[in-house]
Amino acid sequence: MVAQFKATKSQIENLMIAILFGFITRLMITFQNRKQVVLEKIVLVIFFAHILMATFLFSLGTGNRLSHKLLASYLLVGVIEMSNFIFYDFYQTHLNLDMLRSNISLFLAPMLYGYVRAAIYNDFRLKPKYLAHAVPYVIACLVMVPNFFSVDNAGKQLWYDNLREVPELIFIHYMVFIQIGLYLLVIIRHLIKYRKILVENYSDADKLNTRWLSQLIFLFSLTYIIGLGRMFIRFSSYYQYEGPLLLMVLISFTLSIFWILWQALHKPQLFVGISSTIEVVSEQNTTKESLSPDKVGAIESEENKAAVTQLKDYMLLGKPFLDPYLNIESLAKQINQPSSEVSFTINRNIGQHFFDFVNSYRINLAAEMLIAKEQQDKTILEILYEVGFNSKSSFYTAFKKHLKVTPSHYRKMHL
């Protein structure tokens, strides 16, 4: 499987480089021509780039295959939407298909939502209820029935000749951008919850790196804002400036996809995902919180203090933090307690996230080893691996956060 992944990774990297090189070359060649020609050439490159990327994603047999397929479907929706630039004559003779194509952008946000859910939750599965995400597309098509689908070709062409004045089209455009905005808000909510779950349940710094998802949403939000500006310009007296904004949308959309694939190739561990059944500690309804304030105070003064003492003693004696992939479930099994109780003890009673709690023990042990005489022959790299870290960058970040100095400076200060 490793050899297969390496071969696939090499193939996709070569393909991405070739496509980007061709894209830039084509852009430079057509830059001096008319704007419409430039736009058509760029769309042509993007069109086939998306098809190639979607084909690769559908054929990948490693990693999170569902997220690969959803991302590929997202690309294909974009391909269908921009296909009128490539097959303009065909759509002019099949106006009903062209209208169905123009409304397909209503599937972009649901596909992005599904991709993010599949990427962050390893138990995410497609279910029949998700067909409800197609309702906006059905509404858009129904809106067009009276004045478009039910009239003859001459009436349809007249409708096309007055695009900026058609109320149905204006309604659909506003619906598209309201829909995308709502989906982005829901996606951001999932990412915030995902981040909280990671810091409360995992100690692996690589798994905790959620910056890629934040950057992903930033890129798509930027595309959304540019597209929103394009919509307002399209229905205003400045409609002649719609072309440059459309070009910006296409380029930003394409670069976002390349960026996602690059992240997936070089950091595949970011896309492993977690269980969607894990709850944030602040959202858990525990028995203690349902009791009266007096009883809660009594419990905290007895049971909670005992749980904190037991946990801290085990961390010092058993040293479970030496496992770089330690999580809340494995720690709970070692001390024979429910993971929810251990999570409550760390996050509520100790006042730390699981990630910081575990790293504090790793850093304290590393600090002792750095200044111990019998450990002077060991390098900082050797020490960080011994105390449970699996990367140099995460160790230096955590060390400086806890002790305010770098490991090398700390060693010099105490020798």
**For residues 247, 248, 250 and 256, what is the CA-based torsion angle, rounded to 10 degrees?**
160
pLDDT surpassing 60 at residue 409: yes
Whole-number Å distance between alpha carbons of 301 and 147: 72
Distances (CA, A) of 280 to 12, 184, 200, 247, 285: 37, 21, 8, 41, 10
* Region of poorest pLDDT, from 25-34, 323-332, 371-380: 25-34
The predicted structure's pLDDT at residue 287:
42
What burial letters (b/e) apply to 176-200, b meaning 16+ CB within 10 Å? bbebbeebbeebeebbebbbbbbbb
* Region of poorest pLDDT, from 67-71, 178-182, 232-236, 406-410: 232-236
pLDDT digits 0-9 by tens, 132-189: 999 999 999 999 999 889 988 888 888 887 777 788 888 888 898 889 889 988 988 8
What average pLDDT score do residues 213-222 get?
73
Total Cβ atoms within 10 A of residue 338: 11
The predicted structure's pLDDT at residue 17:
58
What average pLDDT score do residues 250-278 get?
67
Of 214, 247, 343, give the one whose Cα is nearest residue 42.
Answer: 247
Mean pLDDT of the chain: 79
Amino acid sitting at position 166 = V
In the chain the domains, ranked by start, together with CATH numbers, are 2-271 (1.20.1070), 294-413 (1.10.10.60)
The predicted structure's pLDDT at residue 334:
93
Whole-number Å distance between alpha carbons of 188 and 213: 9
The predicted structure's pLDDT at residue 23:
53
Predicted structure pTM score: 0.75
pLDDT surpassing 50 at residue 286: no
pLDDT surpassing 50 at residue 288: no
* Region of poorest pLDDT, from 37-46, 191-200, 263-272, 315-324: 263-272
pLDDT surpassing 50 at residue 229: yes
Q: Any residues with CB less than 8 A from the CB of 307 and at least 6 apart, and which? A: 337, 341, 345, 349
Among residues of the chain, what percentage have pLDDT more than 90?
20
pLDDT surpassing 70 at residue 21: no
The predicted structure's pLDDT at residue 154:
85
Please answer whether residues 383 and 391 qualify as being in contact, where contact means their C-beta atoms are separated by less than 8 angstroms: no
pLDDT surpassing 80 at residue 215: no
Distances (CA, A) of 127 to 64, 124, 135: 17, 9, 15
The predicted structure's pLDDT at residue 369:
93
pLDDT surpassing 60 at residue 303: yes
pLDDT digits 0-9 by tens, 342-357: 888 888 888 888 888 9
DSSP letters of 16-43? HHHHHHHHHHHHHHHTTS-HHHHHHHHH
| Rg of the Cα atoms in the chain | 27
DSSP letters of 59-120? H--SS-HHHHHHHHHHHHHHHHHHHHHHSHHHHHH-HHHHHHHHGGGGGHHHHHHHHHHHHH
What average pLDDT score do residues 55-75 get?
83
pLDDT band at 19 (very low <50, low <70, confident <90, very high): low
What average pLDDT score do residues 217-226 get?
76
What average pLDDT score do residues 239-251 get?
70
Please answer whether residues 281 and 74 qualify as being in contact, where contact means their C-beta atoms are separated by less than 8 angstroms: no
pLDDT surpassing 70 at residue 206: no
**Phi, psi (5° rounding) for residue 72?**
-65, -40
pLDDT surpassing 50 at residue 2: no
pLDDT surpassing 70 at residue 402: yes
Distances (CA, A) of 326 to 43, 121, 308, 357, 385: 47, 19, 18, 12, 14
The predicted structure's pLDDT at residue 255:
73
Whole-number Å distance between alpha carbons of 351 and 346: 6
What average pLDDT score do residues 300-315 get?
83
The predicted structure's pLDDT at residue 67:
85
Q: Any residues with CB less than 8 A from the CB of 335 and at least 6 apart, and which? A: 310, 311, 314, 342
